[in-house]
Amino acid sequence: MRLRSIAPLFVRALILAVAVANLGSCSSVPYQVRTGTVRTSTLHDMESLNMDRAAPILIRIYKEERTLEVWKQDQTGKFALLKSFSICKYSGKLGPKIAQGDYQAPEGFYDITPDQMNPQSSEYLSFNIGFPNAFDRSLGRTGSFLMVHGGCKSVGCYAMTDYGMEEIYGLVAEAFQGGQAKIQLQAFPFGMTAENLVRHEQDPNASFWQMLKTGNDAFLEGGQPPSGQPPTVAVCDQRYVFNPITIDRDLDPSGPCPPEIIGQSPMAYQTRDQFAQKIRQILRDH
């Protein structure tokens, strides 16, 4: 006997509930179980870059360039670019995700853990980005099921081709198998150059993007730990702070940043005016 003839009202109610739950986010309905694959050409790249197959990784996303990068730790302990993938589709426009149903793909600093992996995704393969994080929650931002996934269609997610997602998923899975507890994902509106920020300086999100550039620079240019390491990310005063000096208390994401952090180098904490002045100086030097 067909399910429809047994309980048509229940089935329709279940479908409606799933649709409502996923409004403004990507579907997580279970489907066929799959596994990722790290391809032979990528393994050869690891060898040439002196990277162990089980070494930790980091993911960087650029909306405007429609690019997802996988960085991997080499045998010196630094992270280097392993491979770039084209983003097939993301929904929304440049700017952060604010609320459930706005169809925006998130921007910011997120952590992926093993329990966020979904080998049974209806979108081929997927992992949850981790939105909302502490920064998002401090601002009352809402949303759920924001993913990197296959399928090349997006409702607030970063959608890859199935072929690309198969290898991205494989790289993430092997890093977890190698002992990495969490993988940092950095999602940017565009390449975090001073020129790009000046190009968008009239955008309402300009101060938010300046803050993201601070984290970008903490990874690429220096600070503690040295460049080439994912920055330690914390939140206070409803803003990201990067590589903060260790203090003996937890930070309140909505409360003021303590003097120990504000008094650090500008790499850890910058006001909008301080950052704008730095960008102008960079452009003059060029």
Q: What proportion of the chain, given as a percentage, has pLDDT over 70?
A: 78
The amino acid at 255: G
Mean pLDDT of 195-209: 93
User: What pLDDT digit, counting tens, does each position of 212-235 carry?
Assistant: 999 999 898 764 455 678 999 999
N-terminal to C-terminal alpha carbon distance within the chain: 74
Question: Residue type for 4, please?
Answer: R
Q: Which residues are catalytic?
A: 149, 157
Q: Report pLDDT for 22.
A: 46
Hey, is 57 helix, strand or coil?
A: strand
Does 17 score more than 50 pLDDT? no
DSSP label of 7: -
What pLDDT is recorded for position 260? 76
Q: For residue 179, what are its two tokens?
A: 């002992």
Summary mean pLDDT of the chain: 84
Task: Give the pLDDT mean for 193-200.
Answer: 92
Residues 50-109 pLDDT 10s: 999 999 999 999 999 999 999 999 999 999 999 999 999 999 999 999 999 999 999 999
Q: How far apart are CA 177 and CA 219, in angstroms?
A: 24
For residues 160 and 84, what is the distance between their CA atoms, to the nearest angstrom? 12
Above 50 in pLDDT, residue 264? yes
Q: Which two tokens stand for residue 94?
A: 């440049």
In the predicted structure, residue 8 carries a pLDDT above the cut 90: no
Q: Give the chain's domains with CATH numbers.
A: 24-188 (2.40.440.10), 194-285 (no CATH)
d(CA 168, CA 142): 26
Q: What is the pLDDT of residue 174?
A: 97
The model's pLDDT over 106-146, given as tens digits with 9 standing for 90+, comes to 999 999 999 999 998 988 999 999 999 999 999 999 999 99
Tell me: pLDDT of 275 over 90: no
DSSP 83-122: EEEE--EE-S-SS---STTS-PPP-EEEEE-GGGEETTBT
283: pLDDT strictly greater than 60: no
